[in-house]
Structure 1
Amino acid sequence: MQYKNIIEGRFIDRPNRFIAHVEIDGQVETVHVKNTGRCKELLLPGVTVVLEIADNPNRKTKYDIIAVYKEGLGLINMDSQAPNKVVLEWLKQQNFDMIKPEFSFGSSRIDFYMERGQDNYLMEVKGCTLEVDGIGYFPDAPTERGIKHLNELAGAVAEGYKCAIAYVIQMEGITEVRPNIATHPQYGEALAAARAAGVEVIFYCTEIRPDSMIIVKEIRA
């Protein structure tokens, strides 16, 4: 997954979930944040962020924050659209007969439906940007939607689907994602129930560059 035109800036503040103020070439710009999560441990005053210049010249915000440098860890991609893009690239190399994104199942839209031979697969994808002491954690904020997806996957296993919850680790050097029970204990309970029902947990390790992110390793937990 490749970004087109990137530039670095210095993060100042984040008035709300959608915008931030960043100093770029000496000018303070209002930019779009491509992640509605809290990201409080990442977007600290003064940190260096990577931005992509928007294609649409008429857009209100000219730049999107796509990545941030974290002391002691390096570059973290924080584009919430990136995990699905890199997983699609990965899945296209795995010899599936069919891949269908945004598949309607039950009362949810699951990220990917795949077919291979007589087997039908469902995969929900989550991006992980929260790191504590060398371990990735998800979610960084309570997510009822995330619990709903886990419940749907558990139900799909009973109907014969091969189901997985996949965590794309949007930083290098991290190989495990744990449920963030300190922030959302119910998510941890739902994940444990889904695993017990037969939902597989997958970690995708990535290579992060200012202008790209690719999956380099799959770990089945």
Structure 2
Amino acid sequence: MKYNNIYEGIFLERPNRFIANVLIDGKKEKVHVKNTGRCKEILIKGTKVYLEKSNNPNRKTKYSLISAYKGNQLINIDSQVPNKVVFDAVQSNKIEGLNNIKVLKREVTFGNSRFDLYFEKDNEKGFIEVKGVTLEDNGLSLFPDAPTERGTKHIKEMIKAVEFGLSGYIFFLIQMENIKYFTPNISMDEKFSNALIEANKRGVNILAYNSTVKKDFIKINEKIEVLI
């Protein structure tokens, strides 16, 4: 995923989930935050961030905040990008167990949920639900960074899909580099974590890949170990 018109800034504050104030070229700008999660350990006053400037003159905000540093680690916090990154990776045969896909569609409904991706290959059909991960603690990536009833619902629906005879994948895209392990954040959301543990027991595939992240792009990198 490539970004255009990238600008550097200094994070000041986040009045609400959708808006942040950022210092760009010495001027305070109101910008759009492309992540409704908390990101409290990332978006700290004084943090260096990168933004993409919009070409739409009618937008209320000129810029979108897409990544930020946590120490020396650049973290992509764009919650809209994981689906595209994983879609492209599946198409390019870069995901273990998801090679030679014949059909790949976005946003397909099963039961009471709409999963991010639907695929067909040979005699296999199934769904992939993608979760972007921005939370890191001492080299361990965790999800979620806030309670998510919707995420728990998706997992339970994916279990039903597997029981129905379809293949099911919960895919965690770690939106940063040099991460080797992923685990559910049980202290933040016990229901989600327990649902993921149950899904793993019931035949749902749990995958996690880290990413290569630069100021103007993000791409999938390598499979990492899932600790459940």
Shorter chain as denominator, the TM-score bin is over 0.9
AA of the residue aligned to 2:82: P
Q: Which runs of 5+ in 1 are unaligned?
A: none
Q: Identical aligned pairs, as a percentage?
A: 49
Question: Equivalent residue for 1:157?
Answer: 162
Letter of the structure 2 residue corresponding to residue 86 of structure 1: V
2:193 corresponding residue in structure 1:
188
Contact 2:115 2:154 survives alignment (8 Å): yes
In structure 2, stretches of 5+ residues that fail to align are 94-99
Matched, 1:204 2:209: yes
Matched residues in 1 for 2:224 and 2:87: separation?
17
CA contact (8 A) 1:175 1:203 kept: no
Residue equivalent to 2:118: 113
User: Normalization by structure 1: what TM-score?
Assistant: 0.97
Q: CA deviation at 1:156?
A: 0.7
Q: How far apart, in 2, do the equivalents of 1:55 and 1:154 lie?
A: 42
Residues matched between the structures, number: 220
Task: Give the partner amino acid of 1:108.
Answer: S
User: Residue 219 of structure 1: CA displacement?
Assistant: 4.1
**Partner SS for 1:163:** strand
- Amino acid across the alignment from 2:81: A
In the TM superposition, residue 18 of structure 1 has moved relative to its aligned partner by: 0.3
Q: What CA distance in whole angstroms lies between the structure 1 residues aligned with 2:79 and 2:146? A: 14
2:19 and 2:31 in contact (8 A); partners too: yes
Q: Which runs of 4+ in 1 moved over 4 A?
A: none
Please list the CA deviations of residues 122-156 of structure 1 after superposition, one character each: whole Å capped at 9, or x if unmatched: 11000000000110000000000000000011111
- How far is 1:165 from its partner? 0.4
Q: Aligned-residue CA RMSD in angstroms?
A: 1.0
Specify which of 209, 214, 220 is matched with residue 219 of structure 2. 214
Separation (CA, whole Å) in 2 of partners of 1:134 and 1:28: 33
Q: CA-to-partner distance for each residue in 1:12-60, whole Å, 9 max, x for gaps?
A: 0000000000000010000000000000000000000000001211100
- Distance in 2 between the 1:216 and 1:38 partners? 25
User: What is the TM-score of this pair, normalised by structure 2?
Assistant: 0.94
1:200·1:220 contact (CA, 8 Å) conserved in 2?
no
Match of 1:12 in 2: 12
Cα distance in 2, alignment partners of residues 40 and 23 from structure 1 = 18
Counterparts of 1:45 and 1:199, CA distance in 2: 40
Instruction: Identify the residue that residue 150 of structure 2 maps to in structure 1.
Output: 145
